[in-house]
Amino acid sequence: MSQSHLKLVSRVRCFDGEQRRYEHLSEALNCTMQFSVFLPAQALRDEPVASVLWLSGLTCTDENFSSKSGAQRTAAQLGLALIIPDTSPRGDDVADDDAYDFGKGAGFYVNATQQPWAKHYQMYDYICKELIDLVCRSLPLNGQMSISGHSMGGHGALVMALRETDRFASVSAFAPIAHPSECPWGNKAFTGYLGDNREHWHAYDAVELIRSGQNCPPLLVDQGSDDNFLAEQLNFSTLREVADEFKLVAELRMQQGYDHSYYFIASFIEDHLKFHKSYLKG
């Protein structure tokens, strides 16, 4: 299988569209990867549609969001495709760690520079260069794209939107790791993947990117007040402070009583997709 070839692994009918899973050889990651796609009915008629790229959180694969969020109903109504990659490289020869918050399932959407991680853990380039190019060439998409994610994936969505200013029409996140340079998850991952020089970390830290003057597309963030990771890991208040300071076009909402789970995501995913639709053409 060549790097540019998509192999269809599965397809099921869903809200007059299709939920699919694809496999391909990744040049960026040096391994075989799988990702999920929801295509609405318009796309099945070869009418190109806009899309939302979803980045999942720690321990997840491409299948968590597609099976738990209920996003397909709203995506079908809005005529949006959903592109759902995995969270890290996969395979027997890919370096791993026994902990849940490092290694497979915890790629943190960075380009690793440290060994043994650098050979495979080039998740930033995989998403922003290889995968986006692949799906836009291979599927009935019109090139208009927004980005969203949860937790570690919320971190990835914010960073990619801030760095790829011409790629994404809008960005949203659920409980993002907003300032990973200043939390235990981020300190561990960034030290392992990027080394000890904290200046190198700032390229993958949303708060630091905003402070550096990076432009941000329209932003929506939801955070649950009962999230058990809120106090130690997520830095929601810091994100809100820099969004206000730099006058971002942003709505950052604290949702009372909600936690970090997919019940939280399922409760507000309709809002997020409608938010993205308002900025997407087609």
Among candidate residues 24, 120, 150, 260, the one labeled active-site is: 260
227 is catalytic: yes
260 is catalytic: yes
CA-to-CA distance for 218 and 200, rounded, in angstroms?
26
Residue 110 near residue 205 (C-beta atoms within 8 A): no
Among candidate residues 151, 179, 222, 276, the one labeled active-site is: 151
205 is catalytic: no
Among candidate residues 96, 205, 222, 227, the one labeled active-site is: 227
Residue 203 near residue 213 (C-beta atoms within 8 A): no
Which residues are known catalytic residues?
151, 227, 260
